[in-house]
Amino acid sequence: MTVLGAGESGAGAAILAKKEGYDVFVSDMSAIKPKYKEMLDKRGIQWEEGKHTEEKILNADEVVKSPGIPDDAPMVVKIKEKGIPVISEIELAGRYTNSKMVCITGSNGKTTTTSLIYHIFKQAGYDVGLAGNIGNSLALQVAEEPPRVLCHRAQLFPARQYV
């Protein structure tokens, strides 16, 4: 499995994929923050920054694309032309959790709404986690501490995406 992008969602996706037995390779055209390099190195996940090694990426059975990478990016276009399925970090995480998920998306108020719902569940005594653009990535939460209920603040919550 290849993960494109090594920010919060990409690093989390790579960690979850490795935990689930995938041979993982992470590629980012930009510099990877030290925090994420350390997370990947700690788990023995191979990564590259400042380039995309086309041969490795196009050899993947599936690609997890970070949300900040546009669908018309040259590497994504090549992946699409080869017919390799592209999924989101959210979809990967959804495969490996039995947690009930409350996922908030929309134009305005996502962070406030997610925080409020999280607080309500927490005060009610539930084992609850906070993920997405606040808290850890959904995939990292699933990999490390899957709670009974996950509150997820998302830009998008796609059912299944192929590019």
DSSP type of residue 136: B
**pLDDT tens string 12-55:** 999 999 999 999 999 999 999 999 999 999 999 999 999 999 99
Look up the domain containing 33 and give its range: 2-88
The runs of H, that is alpha helices, within 26-109 are: 34-42, 54-57, 74-82, 89-95
Alpha carbon distances (Å) from 62 to 113, 130, 137, 140: 33, 27, 20, 19
Statement to judge: residues 135 and 81 lie in one domain: no
Statement to judge: residues 136 and 122 lie in one domain: yes
Rounded distance, CA 46 to CA 24, Å? 7
Statement to judge: residues 134 and 110 lie in one domain: yes
Statement to judge: residues 66 and 121 lie in one domain: no
- For 133, other C-beta atoms within 10 Å of its C-beta total 15
Statement to judge: residues 96 and 143 lie in one domain: yes
163 domain residue, yes or no: no
**pLDDT tens string 29-38:** 999 999 999 9
Write down which residue in 88, 105, 128 finishes a domain: 88
Beta strands in the chain (DSSP E): 2-4, 25-28, 46-49, 63-65, 86-87, 100-104, 128-132, 149-153
Statement to judge: residues 83 and 97 lie in one domain: no
Statement to judge: residues 23 and 51 lie in one domain: yes
Number of domains in the chain: 2
- What global pTM score does this model have? 0.86
62 domain residue, yes or no: yes
Statement to judge: residues 60 and 113 lie in one domain: no
> How many residues does this entry show for the chain?
163
CB distance 1 to 139 below 8 Å: no
